[in-house]
């Protein structure tokens, strides 16, 4: 791979990670990812915006060598996470005169994480600028996309926004710009769901903040660039601001089939009442798909058998994850089967304190579900359909 020219003097110099399948030892990457790094040459100074994951630092150095870059004045660190900052120490070895420009909070984190000496930093204030001669970089504080230290970099003369993780997508592709909109929309929504959704309120403020800027190109640090910025800006507005939809996410585990019978009955009853259901067997599901479904859902129903007096551990894992992702849910219910008793409902309810939801009457049955249990499930479906209607969730 060679560096890719975006405009005269501006280059993509990042790395494509086709084969990575897990991020943070947690997040599935079905389509790999990329670590986008950008080189900007001004008439007097040269800046590198973000670096790459340390595993691919040689790719970055090779790109800079191919361009014959002998001097870098500024390494802009929009975000301290190592998939963007991890190659900074290597860059500073190769370009010892370079200074790292970042927020004061990012500076502290980079000293902690990468042991970069303090004298290597320039701490940027919000809206502060650095001149590269005929080009100007403006730094825009944008905390919590998705760590507290994050900022965006705006290249004024070229109207390019470098937002690092914000607006990104885990997608390995040779397309420099969005080509397949459906594919990128799905990857960007998955990325939003897994990484950005917990910070919806702050993201709303950050979206308002960048409204003041004329943006012709958004160049994130994962996935392709947006040469039609409204594509991703409109998607983010809808994910962050829209009311939930008339959707139930039904995530469950069944060990011997009883909970599964309840799930199948409830899915049918909800569908009959005009509610869309997204069903996930937690034994096999991709948690990224589940996270994406939570972006739009109004209600979650958790199905669990009772294991050692509590919920199945896979169900507990999904509940903890949903609690951390803080989707805009309104209702939760629990269904499931038990052999001789237990506290699955109480334990699950205690795992989701972040979800500001109304808990609907659970339906638990002893052993296999019977006529009364199916009636209770039909009532639950009616209640959910009514609640969605009352809130005008469409
Ligand atoms: Fe792509 Fe938060 O790192």
Each residue's pLDDT tens digit, 229-274: 999 999 999 999 999 999 999 999 999 999 999 999 999 999 999 9
- For the CA of 195, the closest atom of ligand 1 is 2
Each residue's pLDDT tens digit, 319-338: 999 999 999 999 999 999 99
Region class of 253: left (phi > 0), else alpha (psi between -120 and 50), else beta:
beta
**What's the full length of the chain, in residues?**
394
pLDDT tops 90 at residue 139: yes
Contact between 26 and 55 under an 8 Å Cβ cutoff? The reply is no
With a 6 Å cutoff on the Cβ, whether 165 touches ligand 1 is yes
What is the residue-averaged pLDDT of the chain? 97
Q: How far is the CA of 268 from the centre of ligand 1 (A)?
A: 40
- List the residue whose alpha carbon is closest to atom 3 of ligand 1: 81
pLDDT tops 90 at residue 86: yes
- For the CA of 168, the closest atom of ligand 1 is 1
- For the CA of 147, the closest atom of ligand 1 is 2
Cα(282)–Cα(165) distance, integer angstroms: 28
pLDDT tops 90 at residue 209: yes
> If you ran DSSP here, which 8-state letter would residue 128 be given?
-
- List the residue whose alpha carbon is closest to atom 1 of ligand 1: 165
Q: What is the pTM of this model?
A: 0.96
The average pLDDT across 50-65 equals 98
Range 18-31 burial, b when 16+ CB lie within 10 A, else e: eebeebeeebbbeb
pLDDT at res. 1: 85
With a 6 Å cutoff on the Cβ, whether 194 touches ligand 1 is no
With a pLDDT cut of 90, the percent of the chain lying above it is: 97
Of the candidates 300, 188, 292, the one whose C-alpha atom is nearest the C-alpha of residue 247 is: 300
pLDDT at res. 391: 97
Cα(71)–Cα(46) distance, integer angstroms: 7
pLDDT at res. 26: 87
3-class secondary-structure state, position 10:
strand
Cα(109)–Cα(356) distance, integer angstroms: 32
With a 6 Å cutoff on the Cβ, whether 20 touches ligand 1 is no
Beta partners for residue 252, in sequence order: 281, 303
pLDDT at res. 23: 92
* Tally: H helices and E strands in the chain: 12, 23
Q: How far is the CA of 81 from the centre of ligand 1 (A)?
A: 5
Distances (CA, A) of 197 to 146, 175, 293: 9, 26, 12
3-class secondary-structure state, position 355:
coil
Q: H helices of 297-392, where?
A: 313-325, 344-350, 371-390
Q: How far is the CA of 222 from the centre of ligand 1 (A)?
A: 8
| CA 321 remoteness from chain centre | 13
Q: How far is the CA of 114 from the centre of ligand 1 (A)?
A: 15
């Amino acid at each position: 791979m060679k560096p890719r020219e975006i405009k005269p003097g501006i280059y993509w110099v990042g790395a494509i990670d086709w084969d990575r399948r897990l991020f943070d030892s947690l997040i599935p990457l079905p389509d790999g990812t990329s670590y986008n790094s950008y080189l900007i040459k001004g008439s007097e100074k040269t800046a590198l915006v973000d670096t790459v994951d340390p595993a691919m630092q040689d790719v970055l150095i090779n790109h800079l060598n191919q361009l014959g870059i002998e001097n870098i004045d500024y390494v802009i660190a929009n975000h301290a996470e190592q998939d963007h900052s991890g190659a900074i120490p290597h860059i500073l070895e190769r370009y010892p005169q370079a200074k790292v420009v970042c927020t004061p909070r990012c500076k502290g984190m980079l000293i902690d994480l990468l042991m970069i000496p303090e004298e290597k930093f320039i701490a940027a204030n919000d809206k502060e600028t650095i001149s590269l001669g005929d080009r100007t970089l403006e730094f825009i504080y944008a905390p919590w996309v998705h760590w507290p230290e994050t900022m965006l970099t705006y290249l004024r003369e070229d109207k390019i926004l470098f937002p690092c993780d914000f607006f990104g997508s885990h997608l390995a592709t040779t397309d420099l710009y969005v080509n397949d909109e459906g594919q990128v929309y799905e990857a960007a929504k998955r990325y939003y769901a897994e990484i950005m959704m917990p910070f919806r309120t702050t993201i709303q403020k950050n979206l308002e903040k960048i409204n003041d800027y004329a943006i012709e190109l958004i160049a994130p640090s994962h996935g392709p660039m947006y040469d039609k910025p409204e594509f991703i800006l409109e998607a983010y507005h809808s994910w962050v601001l829209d009311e939930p939809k008339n959707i139930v996410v039904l995530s469950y585990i069944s060990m011997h089939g009883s909970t599964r019978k309840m799930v199948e009955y409830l899915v049918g009853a909800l569908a009959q009442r005009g509610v869309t259901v997204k069903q996930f067997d937690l034994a096999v599901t991709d948690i990224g798909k589940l996270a994406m479904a939570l972006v739009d859902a109004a209600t979650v129903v958790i199905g669990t058998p009772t294991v050692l007096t509590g919920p199945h551990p896979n169900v507990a894992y999904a509940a903890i994850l949903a609690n951390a992702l803080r989707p805009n849910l309104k209702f939760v219910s629990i269904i499931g089967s038990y052999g001789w008793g237990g506290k699955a409902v109480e334990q699950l309810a205690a795992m989701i304190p972040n979800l500001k939801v109304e808990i609907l009457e659970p339906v638990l049955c002893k052993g296999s579900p019977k006529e009364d249990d199916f009636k209770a499930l039909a009532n639950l479906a009616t209640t959910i359909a009514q609640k969605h209607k009352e809130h005008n969730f469409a």
